[in-house]
Amino acid sequence: MGTYWEHFNFQASQWNGAPGVHWSFYLNVGVEFKDLERRKNYVFLAQTHCAGRIEQIVLSAPHAWRYNAETNREALIRELLPLIESASQIMACNITHLRSQYVTGEFIYFDFTKT
């Protein structure tokens, strides 16, 4: 099986705007298979073959995070890091299945509710 790369990206909510108001962001996750051509580009992770939001992989992850100038960044990092590590481990354990889904055209979105 070929090499793969994991991609993580922080996507600001389209509703962010006014200063002093809580803003929010989403954590997107994707897998890129180095030896396969892409058939589709995900807007938020263009170089990936499979992409989605972290809560589709780590079921305990929140859908979005709120933050503003007073947000404790160290605490936010401590919250995000284990989720990113968990997503990475789950994808690594399921990479053969994800690759197979992509190759056969069956991949629609991450669904680890049964794993």
In this prediction, residues 93-108 reach a mean pLDDT of: 89
Q: Residue 2's pLDDT band (boundaries 50, 70, 90)? A: low
Q: What is the pLDDT of residue 13?
A: 87
Percent of the chain with pLDDT over 90: 57
Quote the tokens at residue 69: 């100038």
Beta strand extents in 1-115 (DSSP E only): 4-12, 23-33, 50-53, 65-67
For residues 65 and 24, the answer to whether their CB atoms sit within 8 Å is: yes
In this prediction, residues 41-64 reach a mean pLDDT of: 89
Half-sphere exposure (Cβ direction) of 92: Cα atoms closer than 13 Å: 6
- Average pLDDT over the chain, rounded to whole? 88
Q: What is the pLDDT of residue 46?
A: 83
Q: What is the pLDDT of residue 58?
A: 96
Q: Name the one residue in this structure whose structure tokens are 């989605």.
A: 52
For residues 115 and 97, the answer to whether their CB atoms sit within 8 Å is: no
pTM as predicted: 0.86
| Dist. CA 69–CA 42, nearest whole Å | 30
In this prediction, residues 4-14 reach a mean pLDDT of: 92
For residues 15 and 66, the answer to whether their CB atoms sit within 8 Å is: no
Q: Residue 106's pLDDT band (boundaries 50, 70, 90)? A: confident
